[in-house]
């Protein structure tokens, strides 16, 4: 019986989990009043979350040498990674003569993602492939912060605010997994990917946040990384 060939195109679906590793750092609180708002705690903290992920993928393989397989693959997935830190990292311990009140909560939400990766694998058996992968990745990220004007030493002194910003972040990804061929056309796999999308810097509360005697603005620096583990089933054409 002839050994199966891995050369050809394939398409499949996957299910798994995605861990969003987000680090939020706050700086430039009330920039018109430099040196007035003094932090007594750390300026940042983690806003991490774990969510189920569903997705699809397609690609093409070329078998050579004869136990090596090279390929190119694209994938797309969605997960509802959402976490709120209350109060926002970097605001605990802020003083303006006394501790500030009404500290804003901050939310990071990661939704759809995608990647385009090269793959290189070694056949440990004619129908079992160990592979590594690497390439570019995309991640949709949303940031939110809000605050109300409260009686006393309020963080927001001018107006209430509720700001949301969204961005599709570009990054890099590496990973690997194992894939097994069933019946010559079906491919079942277990896959892991790490992705890094760098740091997004965004100023909040700019609209209505500056006036005579007050400045509600601050700047967030949010670093996003993800860990994605899935199992998948594909059909090889």
pLDDT the model gives residue 84: 98
Q: Is the pLDDT at 46 greater than 60, yes or no? A: yes
Could you read off the pLDDT of 68-127 as tens digits, one per residue?
999 999 999 999 999 999 999 989 878 777 888 999 999 999 999 999 999 999 999 999
Global confidence as pTM? 0.92
Strand blocks (E) in 65-185: 68-85, 106-125, 128-147, 161-182
Residue bearing tokens 């100023």: 203
Among 119, 117, 14, CA closest to 61: 119
Q: Which CATH fold topology does 8-236 show?
A: Porin (2.40.160)
Could you read off the pLDDT of 143-170 as tens digits, one per residue?
999 999 999 889 998 899 999 999 999 9
Domains of the chain by residue range: 8-236
């Amino acid at each position: 019986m002839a050994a199966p060939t891995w050369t050809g195109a394939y398409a499949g679906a996957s299910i798994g989990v995605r861990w969003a590793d987000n680090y939020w750092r706050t700086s430039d609180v009330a920039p018109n009043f430099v040196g007035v708002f003094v932090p007594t705690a750390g300026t940042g903290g983690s806003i991490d979350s774990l969510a189920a992920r569903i997705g699809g993928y397609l690609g093409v393989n070329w078998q050579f040498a004869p136990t090596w397989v090279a390929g190119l693959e694209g994938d797309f997935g969605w997960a509802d990674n959402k976490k709120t830190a209350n109060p926002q990292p970097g605001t605990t311990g802020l003083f303006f003569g006394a501790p500030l009140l009404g500290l804003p909560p901050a939310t990071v939400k990661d939704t759809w993602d995608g990647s385009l990766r090269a793959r290189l694998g070694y056949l440990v058996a004619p129908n079992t492939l160990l592979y590594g992968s690497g390439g570019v990745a995309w991640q949709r990220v949303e940031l939110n912060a809000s605050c109300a004007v409260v009686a006393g030493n309020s963080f927001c002194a001018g107006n209430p605010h509720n700001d949301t910003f969204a961005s599709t972040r570009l990054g890099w990804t590496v990973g690997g997994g194992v894939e097994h061929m069933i019946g010559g056309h079906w491919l079942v796999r277990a896959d892991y990917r790490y992705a890094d999308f760098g740091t997004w810097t965004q100023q909040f509360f700019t609209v209505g946040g500056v006036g005579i005697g007050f400045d509600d603005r601050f700047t967030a620096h949010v670093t996003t990384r993800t860990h994605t583990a899935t199992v998948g089933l594909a059909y090889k054409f």
